[in-house]
Amino acid sequence: MSDLSYNPRARFLGAELRAVREREKVGVRELAKLLGTGHAKISLWENGKKVPSTEDVASFLGALGVGGDEREELIEKARQADQKTWVATGVAGATDQFNALMEFERTATEIVDWSPLVIPGLLQTGDYARAIMGDIPQADLRAAMRVGRRDVLTKRNPVNLTSLIGEWALRQPIAESAMMVDQLRQVIDMADRPNVVMRVVPAATRWHPGLLGPIKMLRFQRGKPIVYLEHHRASAFVFEDAETADYEEALEWISGLAMSPQESTAFIEKLIKKEEKV
């Protein structure tokens, strides 16, 4: 497990290790001395470029005084970190993937997000997010976390987002009328930002691969792109070159069917006026 990786599991493990080290206020060079190794190796682990062995992770955590459940969870992640495609089912797997998604959104330089049936997560209001989540456990906390993700669009040096939104996502009355109006306005407001491009894909169009489900492509300054796919009770990160190339092609196809940004904004403004008359 020593080859250059940059796969999703390795990147997430590295981010978790870095967070632990920073929490304990130990520098990379200081930790390297404690471990009797080079600081460059630790940086490779934390950046996800090299997958540490379970023994490496145990030593890393031991030097920082980390034990108990946290130690066992991170060692288990190290056992799985050389698996390039990451499929998750169930609550525990979904939680890890959501945390990984937030890390990837934070470190990405560009995101292309196709969302056919709901407003994309990075553009959602809190009320809309809660309406989607319904009565699931910790719905308010999850909604707050989803809204908090929007910081990647508003921070200094923000990520560039191209949001391709299906027409039915804008028309679907997921929340009550006033909340939907607020949500549609939120989409327009975010589309005014220089780093956000929003385009609506009309429902009345020919078949295209986007009809099979949502696609989120994350691109990075260093490392290969990652595709995130989400379904009802399962989600997946896709990393292999041939597979990500297929999704790149699908996103280009969908983009070719979309309205221009100006047409998209005008379309949503008409929906708002219609909703306000109801």
For residue 103, being part of any structural domain is answered with yes
Closest by CA position to 236, among listed 84, 48, 109, 115? 84
For residue 48, being part of any structural domain is answered with yes
Least confident of 10-19, 20-29, 140-149, 256-265: 140-149
pLDDT of the residue at 71: 93
Per-residue pLDDT of 79-136, as tens digits, reads: 888 877 788 775 555 678 888 899 899 999 999 999 999 999 999 998 998 888 776 6
**Is 115 in the same domain as 28?**
no
pLDDT of the residue at 218: 96
pLDDT of the residue at 3: 44
- pLDDT of residue 5 exceeding 90, the answer is no
63, 80, 97 — which closes off a domain? Answer: 80
Q: How many domains does the chain have?
A: 2
- pLDDT of residue 2 exceeding 70, the answer is no
For residue 1, being part of any structural domain is answered with no
**Is 187 in the same domain as 50?**
no
**Is 63 in the same domain as 112?**
no
- pLDDT of residue 241 exceeding 90, the answer is no
**Is 103 in the same domain as 38?**
no
CATH number, domain of 52, equals: 1.10.260.40
For residue 108, being part of any structural domain is answered with yes
The whole-angstrom separation of Cα 263 and Cα 6 is 38
Split at pLDDT 50, 70, 90, the class of 277 is confident
Per-residue pLDDT of 150-189, as tens digits, reads: 899 999 999 999 999 999 999 998 888 999 999 999 999 9
The whole-angstrom separation of Cα 108 and Cα 225 is 9
Mean pLDDT value across residues 22-30:
95
Mean pLDDT value across residues 181-207:
95
Q: What is the pTM of this model?
A: 0.83
For residue 3, being part of any structural domain is answered with no
User: How many Cβ atoms are within 10 Å of 33's Cβ, its own excluded?
Assistant: 11
**Is 33 in the same domain as 139?**
no
57, 80, 103 — which closes off a domain? Answer: 80
- pLDDT of residue 254 exceeding 70, the answer is yes
**Is 75 in the same domain as 212?**
no
Split at pLDDT 50, 70, 90, the class of 143 is low
**Is 92 in the same domain as 47?**
no
Residues with Cβ < 8 Å from 113, sequence gap 6 or more?
120, 122, 161, 162, 163, 164, 214, 215, 216, 217
For residue 166, being part of any structural domain is answered with yes
User: Domain range spanning residue 216?
Assistant: 86-277
Looking up tokens 């456990």 gives: 137
Share of the chain above pLDDT 90, in %: 64
Per-residue pLDDT of 41-53, as tens digits, reads: 999 999 888 899 9
**Is 98 in the same domain as 53?**
no
For residue 69, being part of any structural domain is answered with yes
For residue 195, being part of any structural domain is answered with yes
CATH number, domain of 202, equals: 3.30.870
46, 80, 114 — which closes off a domain? Answer: 80
Give the mean pLDDT of the chain.
89
**Is 138 in the same domain as 181?**
yes
